[in-house]
Structure 1
Amino acid sequence: MVKIKEENGQFVVYVRGAVTAIFPTKTEAETFAVKQTQYPTQEETLIADNQEDVPNGIRD
């Protein structure tokens, strides 16, 4: 759970109750909070089945 609180003129971002970051503007704090709640995108890796390195295409 992410919360943003204004404290002493700064915006503090809390993640799971712990201080994670402090920003001078609410916009920066909100942008950071959104990034904290998104899952990272994983890059897909194509695996080519290269038969050239195995004689007769037979693998162990």
Structure 2
Amino acid sequence: MVKTKEENGQFVVYVRGAVAASFLTKSEAESFAVKQTHYPSQEETLITYN
């Protein structure tokens, strides 16, 4: 679980209750939080045997 909180003028990102990173702007913190929760989709490959 990822949370973003403003603390002492910085935006702190928590991942599973532990501090993961802190940023000066909210947009940077939110961008980081999205990256932490994004799982890349797996690509499907068609295999043909001749």
TM-score class, shorter-chain normalisation, is 0.7 to 0.9
Equivalent runs, 1:1-60 vs 2, <5 Å: 1-42=1-42
Partner of 1:14, secondary structure, is strand
Q: How far apart in 1 are the matches of 2:19 and 2:38?
A: 18
Q: How many residues align?
A: 50
The normalised TM-score by structure 1 is 0.67
Kindly indicate whether structure 1 or structure 2 has the higher relative contact order, using CA contacts under 8 Å at least 6 residues apart. Answer: 2
Q: CA deviation at 1:14?
A: 0.1
Deviation at 1:29, TM superposition (A): 0.2
Structure with the bigger percentage of strand:
2
Deviation at 1:23, TM superposition (A): 0.2
Point out the structure with max Rg over C-alpha. 1
Structure 1, unpaired ranges of 5+: 50-60
Identity %: 81
Root-mean-square deviation over aligned CA pairs: 1.5
Stretches of structure 2 that go unaligned for 5 or more consecutive residues are none
